[in-house]
Structure 1
Amino acid sequence: MQEIERKFLVHSSGFIAEASHSQKIAQGYLNSTPERTVRIRIKDDKGFITIKGKGDESGTTRFEWEKEIELYEAEALLKLCETGVIDKNRYLIKKGNHTFEVDIFEGENKGLIVAEIELSDANETFEKPNWLAKEVTGDEKYYNAYLSKKPFTTW
């Protein structure tokens, strides 16, 4: 139940041609405190509830629990969420033994493109594609929970 993840800004849309799949995502937060977040997500036509704990000092590792729920439940729970639903398109790109999830944000976060990679160990090496820019792992302003309250277009 530990998530080990690194996060990067993306400087071009060249990654789209490399994507094996894309998904439309809408997500909101029932709770978005730094100590714990409770997220409701609709990914294409599936619903999910996710609980995340506070990250470690580097922001790389934290507790994560996720469960698929019925779509109608996710739609109802999204209506109860805090203000600031996140809309984004996610592209999945395989590089070596890993898959990057690249999110192009819409709405109030339009203009922001972030790539995430999940690892099995915090020190694991991975192939870095040329479209990756600055690493923002651990920078809370790039967390979706933060973006729901302080959108990218307001920075």
Structure 2
Amino acid sequence: MALEIERKFLVCDTTYRDLAYAKSRIKQGYICSASGRTVRVRIRDEKGFLTIKGKSDASGVKRYEWEREIPLQEAEELMLLCEPGIIDKTRYLVKSGHHTFEVDEFYGENEGLVVAEVELEEENEIFLRPSFLGEEVTGRTEYYNSSLMKMPYTKWGKSTT
């Protein structure tokens, strides 16, 4: 099992689009989105993936992650078992120094939200911060994809009464 160490930021402009060296369309759902563990099914372009993530540490920077590529047809079948609230987004890959930022531009009920993540080798690793990064939201659970499928970005601040 691999340890995922990443930091997450809001994005303050669209310059990442011109800086990106690759992009892909992602649709994902959650078979399980319980606190402390998630089981995710993802279709990225024409490939399927199954991912299991553990509970984040207190800072929200580290957690265990297991991921395997699965046949596209199996991923499509597993999507039918997912909880309501499919995540739909385009992921842009942007190099910054020795790191690659994954910038996710969301659609549907999460339209208007754009976040960037960078994976690190160690928690306090220094990285070159691209100009499009805004506020850091590492550890803020409302920005986890598993939370966005339950409480989409477009519904934040709206009363549920």
Q: Same fold (TM over 0.5)?
A: yes
Distance of 2:41 and 2:108 partners within structure 1: 18
Query: RMSD of aligned C-alpha atoms?
Result: 0.4
Q: Which runs of 5+ in 1 are unaligned?
A: none
Q: Match for 2:132: what amino acid? A: W
Q: Which runs of 5+ in 2 are unaligned?
A: 157-161
Task: Provide the residue aligned with 1:80 in structure 2.
Answer: 81
Distance of 1:95 and 1:13 partners within structure 2: 15
What displacement does 1:56 show? 0.2
What displacement does 1:3 show? 0.1
What displacement does 1:34 show? 1.6
Q: Match for 1:52: what amino acid? A: K
Percent of aligned positions that are identical: 57
- Correspondence list, 1:116-155, <5 A: 116-155=117-156
Distance of 1:82 and 1:15 partners within structure 2: 31
What displacement does 1:35 show? 1.1
Q: TM-score, normalised by structure 2?
A: 0.96
- Correspondence list, 1:2-151, <5 A: 2-151=3-152
Q: Match for 1:91: what amino acid? A: Y
What displacement does 1:86 show? 0.1
What displacement does 1:68 show? 0.2
Describe the superposition over 1:37-69 as per-residue Cα deviations: whole angstroms up to 9, x where unpaired.
000000000000000000000000000000000
Q: Match for 1:69: what amino acid? A: I
SS in 2 for 1:120: coil
Distance of 2:5 and 2:125 partners within structure 1: 10
Q: TM-score, normalised by structure 1?
A: 0.99
How many residues of Structure 1 are paired with residues of Structure 2 in the alignment?
Answer: 155
Q: Match for 2:55: what amino acid? A: K
Distance of 1:35 and 1:117 partners within structure 2: 21
What displacement does 1:14 show? 1.0
Q: Match for 2:9: what amino acid? A: F
Distance of 1:37 and 1:109 partners within structure 2: 19
Distance of 1:99 and 1:34 partners within structure 2: 28
Q: Match for 2:68: what amino acid? A: K
